[in-house]
Each structure stands twice: as C-alpha cells, then as structure tokens.
Amino acid sequence: MIKKLAAEFVGTFWLVFGGCGSAILAAAFPSLGIGFAGVSLAFGLTVLTMAYAVGGISGGHFNPAVSLGLAIAKRFEWRYLLPYWIAQVVGAVAAAGALFVIASGKPEFAPGGFASNGYGTLSPDGYSLTAALLIEVLLTAGFLIVILGSTSKKVPAGFAPIAIGLALTLIHLISIPVTNTSVNPARSTGVALFATTGALGQLWLFWLAPLLGAAVGGLSWRHLLADHEAE
C-alpha cells in the first residue's frame, strides 16, 4: 500500500508541477510563451508519462475524481479511496509549493491567480458559475469514460496512457477559457493555496463538479457501456 500511495503522490506532483508549471513559468514568457495550446499539451504529457512510469504500481489515478469514478465503476476498491485522495492532495500541494519557490526567484514576481481555477471574475474569459459547473461535470464524465474504455480488457494493452493523455489535452483545449480547467480537485487545491485572488473561496466548485462528473462517468460506463464479460 505504501508503494501505491507513493506512486500517487509522485504522479500527482508531476501533473501539477508540469501542467501548472507550464502555465506559471512558460506560458507568460515574453518571447516564447507557449499559450493555451502549449499548456494543454503539457497537462496531457504529464499524465501520459507518469501513467507509463508508475501506472503499473498504483493504477495511475493522480486525481481524486478518477479514483472515485473507478470505484463507482467497480474498478477500484472503496477502502483505498481516502488514502489515495490524501496522497494526491499532498502531492499537488507539494508541487504547488515548489512552483511558488521557483517562481518567487524572478524579480517582481506576483502570484496572482497562480494557475488556479475559477468562475465569474476568476474565469479567464468571465464565464458564469453555471457554465463552469456544467463544463467541469461534462468533461470529467467524458474523461472517466475514456479512462475506463481505454483500460478495458477488450482494448489492446499498453495504449491507454496515450488515449488518456490526449483526452486531458483535449479537455484543456476546450475549457481553459471557461475555468482554467480543473477536472481534478487535487490540482485545484494545490495552486489555490498560493493564489492571491479569491480562488480558495471558489474551490468548493472544483471539488463538487469533478466528483459529480466522475460519478456520472463511472455510472454511465458501468450500466450503459461496459461489456461486463470483458471487464
């Protein structure tokens, strides 16, 4: 169990450090800023690389919503859910702390939103709470369906991390303007702790919506899509 939790810590650390780090350190670089597309790709690459690196140890969740959805779909034991959540959140907070120390090394650094998620005035393009809730639920549900489908026994082994990484890239390409993309409560929590906006006050949504979306995705797969003989 310790190895599984360590793998979740490392994987979530990498996701937040690489994905949020690309937004905090690289996207705003004056001459070589990578933009929304670059940040989206960075998030996808973090999951793809760590799924191959440690997915064989812990399953490669790196996300409380993924763990919940897999449990609902009967692909993960409920008794491991809380320990996984703790490891994931601690990994995310550690990564955000490391990013804060690095970013603080630049003169005149100001945390601002610090790659946090938000709606209303904290949405990158001013989207409402309703819009943020709906897109986070729908995209998390879709993400769970991709994860469950690509890891099904009927699918050729070894390709799931590619599908999952590309799905996360697509999710970010769609929703960065709306919420700055969460679909992951741990990722949202880590950076919100260091933001100097009202991100902490809106963090509840970025737990509620991804967990609700994960439940929708897990139930949809379990009751509508899964070939139970192949699971």
What is the pTM assigned to this prediction?
A: 0.94
Per-residue pLDDT tens over the stretch 181-213: 999 999 999 999 999 999 999 999 999 999 999
Neighbours of 231 (CB within 10 A): 15
The CATH number for 2-224, chosen from 1.10.357.10, 1.10.760.10, 3.65.10.10, 1.20.1080.10, is 1.20.1080.10
119-143 in b/e burial notation, b at 16+ Cβ within 10 A?
Answer: beebbbeebeeebbbebbbbbbbbb
Enter the tokens of residue 134: 């709906």
The pLDDT assigned to 229 comes to: 45
Supply angle C-alpha 143, 8, 180, rounded to 5.
45
Domain extents in the chain: 2-224
Per-residue pLDDT tens over the stretch 52-73: 999 999 999 999 999 999 999 9
Sign (positive or negative) of CA dihedral 31, 37, 43, 48 = negative
What is the arithmetic mean of pLDDT over 99-128? 95
Q: Which of 22-36, 152-166, 186-200 has the lowest average pLDDT?
A: 22-36
What type of residue sits at position 64?
Answer: P
What would you measure as the largest C-alpha separation in the chain, in angstroms?
59
What type of residue sits at position 99?
Answer: L
